[in-house]
Structure formats: C-alpha cells, structure tokens
Amino acid sequence: MTAMIEVRNVQRTYGEGHTAVHALKDISFEVGKGELVALVGRSGSGKTTLLNIIGALDRPDAGQVLVDGVELVGRSDVELDAVRRDTVAFIFQGFGLIPELSAAENVGLPLRLRGMSSEDREHRAELMLQLVGLEGHGEHRPDEMSGGQMQRVAIARALAGSPRLLIADEPTGQLDTETGLAVMALIRGVVEAEGMTAIVSTHDPVMIALADRAVRIADGHLIDV
C-alpha cells in the first residue's frame, strides 16, 4: 500500500531544562492511502502534537514527516500554507465554525480563500451539505444548530476542497454517544466514498472499531502500530 503519511523518528519538546515537556519521543509509523486510522491515547499523551505536525500546523524538533510524498520538514511557511490549503483538511473537537456565517458560508470559506467564484462556491457548499445530511440547513447559523449538526457542517467544510488527507482531533468529544457514533460513521463513509485518507484521534472503543486499525500513543511513545 502506498503511504499517504510517513513519520520517521519525530521528536517534539516544549520548553527547556528541567521544565521541558517531551511531547513526542522518536515516533515512526506510516498510514497508507485510503486508510482510516484511529490515533488512540489519553489526554496529554501527544496525540494533538502529532496531528498538528502531520497537518503542518507545527514543526518537529527532529525527524522527517512526509504527506503524499512531500517532505514537510524544512519547508517555508508559504510552502506549508500550500500543503494545508491543497492537501490537508482538519476537523476539530470545538467545531471551529464562524458564528456570524451561515452553514453554507462556513462550508464555502476555504473555497473562497482559494479564489473560487461565488456561483461555484455556493454550488459546492450545497453539495457538501447534502453529503453530510444537512440539505435545507444552508442558511442556519451555528447557534441555530445542535452540536451534531455543527460537527456535520465542520465535516462538510473540511471536505469542500477535496482534500487527500483528513485530520480529525477528537471530533466527537463534545457530542453524546449516539451523535458521536453517527459522526464517526459519516467520516468512515466519506473516506470510502471519496477515496481519501483519514487519521482520527479518539479514545472511544466503539469508534475505534470503525477504523481500519489503531495507532496507540502513551507519554509521547508509540506503543502499538
């Protein structure tokens, strides 16, 4: 299987001296194209740091990170911006929607940043909202929607630009169990339908079962790949 993510001997430390926190310690693993991988670990285990490095939001102190064959280490901020814009999409636990914008406007925002025309942007946003089961909710603002609906909007926004890699950091952390399972099932279905790769941090065993495999991290070390 061709690798979408290649992480080789990655280390990340915050702070210096006796107060230093070694968030990642010599991490190495791969994720194949088309895989849905669950990244499992307790709070503070290094999950978010690892996802941020894979998604070009942070830089490692040592090691190599390749996403779709592109080495991220040593790239300029402008080059990393391009990776985040063209290759990677994020789903966050806190949804990350802009309160003043409608669901359709939130979904269309990354397309606007790409310079897509208003007409094409609106059409794409409509299609994405249909995909996540929110047809007819395009004019609703975040404060008019449930948590599950807001997370579906966040998923639609992440998918709008046809990313090759989807990164989700505890995407169901603020949802009840039933809604969380529906959201994870949606991510599973989208990965299969769109042929993309996804890495999702979670600690829910039922949700882990929906993944192709689990990568477990504890105290900055991988303990199960």
CATH of the domain at 60: 3.40.50.300
Q: Are residues 149 and 169 in the same domain?
A: no
Task: Please indicate, yes or no, whether residues 38 and 83 belong to a single structural domain of this protein.
Answer: yes
Residue 105, domain extent: 98-155
Is 56 within the bounds of a domain?
A: yes
Kindly give, in sequence order, each residue whose CB lies less than 8 Å from that of residue 40, ignoring residues fewer than 6 positions away.
47, 201, 202, 203, 208, 214, 215, 216, 217
Asked if the structure places residue 93 within a domain, the reply is no
Residue 1's pLDDT is 67
The DSSP symbol for 33 reads T
Q: Where are the alpha helices (DSSP H) in 1-146?
A: 47-54, 77-86, 103-113, 118-131
Q: Is the pTM of this model over 0.85?
A: yes
Q: Are residues 150 and 123 in the same domain?
A: yes
Residue 83 and residue 167 in one domain: yes
Q: Residue 32: inside a domain, yes or no?
A: yes
**Using CB atoms within 10 A of its CB, is residue 12 exposed (0-12), middle (13-18) or buried (19+)?**
buried
Q: What residues form DSSP beta bridges with 197? A: 165
The alpha carbon dihedral of 170, 171, 176, 181 has a sign of negative
Same domain flag for 10 and 79: yes
Given 108, 138, 155, which residue is the final one in a domain?
155
Residues 27 and 67 reside in one and the same domain: yes
Q: Are 75 and 181 in a shared domain?
A: yes
Q: What angle (nearest 5°) sits at the alpha carbon of residue 207, between those of residues 88 and 35?
A: 40
Do 70 and 14 fall within a single domain? yes
* 26 located within any domain: yes
Count of domains forming the chain: 2
Look at residue 16 and tell me if it is in a domain: yes
According to the model, what pLDDT value does residue 225 have?
Answer: 65
In a domain, 36, yes or no: yes
104 in the same domain as 179: no
For the chain, 225 residues long, the average pLDDT of each consecutive 10-residue run is 92 89 94 94 89 94 95 93 89 87 93 86 91 90 92 89 90 81 84 88 84 92 81
User: Is the domain of 10 the same as that of 76?
Assistant: yes
Domain membership flag for residue 92: no
Residue 7 sits in the same domain as residue 82: yes
Give the pairing type, strands 36-40 and 213-218: parallel
Same domain, 8 and 81: yes
